[in-house]
Amino acid sequence: MTLSLAKSSWTSKEVLTSSQLTLLATEVLKAPDAVAGGTYAPAAPIIVNGSGAFQLGSRLAYTSRSVARVRSVVNGVFSYDSTRWSLVAGGSSAYFTQTVTGAGNIDIEIEGLPNGATLDSVGVYLKGAAGHAGTPGTLPLLKVYRRSVSADPAAALTQIGSTATDPYTSSAVYQANHLVTASSLAHTIDVSATGNIYIARIEAEGGANFVAGLIASSLVVTCTVTSQSEW
């Protein structure tokens, strides 16, 4: 912000003209109100540099917006049923593939969530193996959980929102890369020192029409962010 000076200085008893006073009033209105606040629309970036720092007393606020992050399902995995799933690594990516039918989970810690934001949805990209004659008797599921960091590690997890079932419409769609999403979670994220660990659980395909080779590749997490702390 550049403010124009009516004069660099005044001498004793010098007349303050109407044009000078008008200029002062005009320029003062450009300054942000550090007491009552307000809404501003700078025409250029506001840059803070030099030896000083821009210091906040609490949280950095944003205009409410939806933010999505994508990550490999392999990152953050701390548990999976190795009798049902196999980790495939190499080439340009790493992923899990289902080897045999039956219940079997992959539990993935969801890392890097913005503290205080709202967790809106968690999705996983799946790709069914070729050769399905019809709808699998048990479609893949996605569930989102939380566990307090102070809870007994053996304690039951608390589910957030509802279970998402693969939205099977046809073999062709199921056998292409597609997104299964647990939505409308509306959960306030707490990843403070006394907060939660968040987990996405993928449950396997099974039952009639099962074909080995289901692939789980990426997670998509969407949050509504209005402010940000050091977390």
Q: Per the domain annotation, does 1 fall within a domain?
A: no
What pLDDT sits at residue 228?
72
Q: Per the domain annotation, does 216 fall within a domain?
A: yes
Token representation of residue 118: 């709202």
Q: Per the domain annotation, does 21 fall within a domain?
A: no
SS3 of the chain: helix, strand, coil, percent, to 5: 5, 40, 55
**Residue 70: how many other CB atoms lie within 10 Å:** 10
Q: Name the phi and psi angles at 21, rounded to 5.
A: -65, -40
pLDDT at 1 over 60: no
Q: Per the domain annotation, does 46 fall within a domain?
A: no
For residue 114, give its domain range: 61-228
Domain count, the chain: 1
CATH code of residue 140: 2.60.120.260
pTM here? 0.78
* CA-CA-CA-CA torsion sign (69, 72, 78, 83): positive
β-sheet bridge partners, residue 138: 206
How does pLDDT run across 110-125, given as a tens digit for each residue?
Answer: 998 998 899 999 999 9
How does pLDDT run across 200-209, given as a tens digit for each residue?
Answer: 999 999 999 9
How does pLDDT run across 179-208, given as a tens digit for each residue?
Answer: 999 999 999 999 988 999 999 999 999 999
Q: Per the domain annotation, does 8 fall within a domain?
A: no
How does pLDDT run across 144-186, given as a tens digit for each residue?
Answer: 999 999 988 888 899 999 999 999 999 999 999 999 999 999 9
Cβ atoms of residues 181 and 78 within 8 Å: no
Q: Per the domain annotation, does 54 fall within a domain?
A: no
